[in-house]
């Protein structure tokens, strides 16, 4: 976890997914004299992306959630570095719940929010219901930045733009996008899924006789995998084979699960002759 950025005042703007938080973000920020907004992995200042990467650029739900929670080390380092360079300042974290806002603050080394503004504080039940209907049926998301910014930073489908849709006296431009995916709620990859994927990758390797043991350690922000194998004697060397297995497992798990695999340790328990395969 990064060092605490004490000079930054934090408030949180929270509400369930699809209720119109991003649409109203600039209005809420301006009312409370906020310098920067954190929304789905981005740091935004007056409609301009100044740091980070949008979770909506990810091609699967797991990676999108991890991106929004700043669980990728390089992404987190970029954002904390920017905030540190611009401290003291004020920051608004947009999140689907108070718990999510608090986790984002912990991940970035920020003080916990001094205030929680709920979507129901700035939008009527009818406006919230309309926003949820639009999200559910059109699969569209609003990002509080201009189209020019989105074209540089977003790879999904650009749908359109809107201004002052709710007559909020908010002159900042909003952009509507359609991400490569759409989802409601949280998602978690069970450790058993990682075990099965790793087991399949290892067992299908021609030099592996037996997978004796496999351990997966979930460290919240990353995953570590340890494999114990029996290999057939041959060329290339055992070290090269172990490295190849490690790389295959890491790439496959990251691709299929969207998880950040920090390391895959391969322990060679025994080496046997290839002829033993027939016996």
Tens of pLDDT, residue by residue over 127-180, are 888 878 776 765 555 545 544 444 444 444 443 444 444 444 444 444 444 555
Share the mean pLDDT of the chain: 80
**pLDDT of the residue at 263:** 93
Q: Is the pLDDT of residue 210 over 80?
A: yes
Task: Count Cβ atoms below 10 Å from residue 217 Cβ, excluding itself.
Answer: 12
- CA-based torsion, 67, 21, 144, 151: positive or negative: positive
Which is nearest to 245 in space by CA: 232, 263, 264, 261? 264
Class of domain 191-278: alpha beta
Q: Once rounded to an integer, what is the mean pLDDT over residues 52-72?
A: 85
Query: Is the Cβ–Cβ distance between 39 and 143 less than 8 Å?
Result: yes
Task: Look at residue 277 and tell me whether its pLDDT is greater than 70.
Answer: no
**Residue 210: both structure tokens together:** 């037996």
Q: Which residue has the higher pLDDT, 14 or 60?
A: 14
Instruction: Find out whether 61 and 258 touch, Cβ atoms under 8 Å.
Output: yes
* Mean pLDDT, rounded, for 64-92: 93
pLDDT > 90 in the chain, percent = 46
Domain boundaries, the chain: 8-178, 191-278
Structure-token pair, residue 157: 């489908």
Q: pLDDT at position 152, please?
A: 46
pLDDT exceeds cutoff 90 at 253? no
| pTM value > 0.85 | no
Q: In whole angstroms, what is the distance from residue 186 CA to residue 61 CA? A: 9
Q: What is the pLDDT of residues 213-247, one digit of tens each?
A: 999 998 766 789 999 999 999 889 999 999 999 99
pLDDT at 169: 47
pLDDT of residue 148: 43
| Residue labelled with tokens 């990682």 | 194
Categorize the per-residue pLDDT at 257 as very low, low, confident or very high, splitting at 50, 70 and 90. confident
Higher pLDDT, 263 or 179: 263
Provide mean pLDDT across the span 52-70: 85
């Amino acid at each position: 976890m990064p060092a605490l950025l004490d000079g930054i005042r934090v408030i949180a703007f929270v509400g369930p997914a699809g209720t119109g938080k991003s649409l109203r973000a600039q209005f809420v920020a301006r009312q409370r004299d906020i310098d920067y907004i954190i929304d789905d992995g981005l740091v935004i200042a007056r409609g301009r992306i100044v740091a980070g990467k949008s979770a909506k650029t990810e091609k699967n739900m797991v990676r999108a959630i991890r991106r929004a929670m700043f669980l990728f080390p390089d992404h987190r380092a970029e954002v904390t570095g920017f905030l540190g360079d611009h401290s003291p300042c004020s920051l608004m974290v947009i999140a689907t719940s108070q718990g999510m806002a608090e986790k984002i603050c912990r991940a970035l080394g920020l003080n916990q929010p001094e205030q929680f503004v709920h979507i129901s504080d700035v939008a009527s039940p009818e406006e919230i219901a309309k926003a949820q209907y639009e999200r559910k049926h059109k699969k569209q998301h609003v990002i509080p930045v201009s189209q020019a910014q989105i074209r540089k930073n977003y790879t999904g489908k650009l749908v359109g733009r809107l201004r002052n849709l709710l007559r909020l006296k908010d002159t900042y431009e909003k952009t509507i996008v359609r991400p490569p995916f759409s989802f409601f709620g949280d998602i978690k990859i069970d450790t058993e899924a990682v075990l099965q994927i790793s087991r399949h990758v290892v067992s299908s390797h021609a030099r592996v006789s037996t997978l004796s043991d496999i351990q997966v350690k979930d460290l919240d922000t990353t995953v570590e995998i340890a494999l114990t194998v029996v290999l057939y004697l041959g060329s290339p060397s055992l070290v090269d084979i172990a490295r190849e297995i490690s790389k295959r497992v890491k790439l496959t798990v990251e691709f299929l699960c969207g998880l950040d695999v920090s390391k895959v340790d391969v322990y060679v328990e025994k080496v046997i002759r290839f002829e033993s395969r027939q016996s």
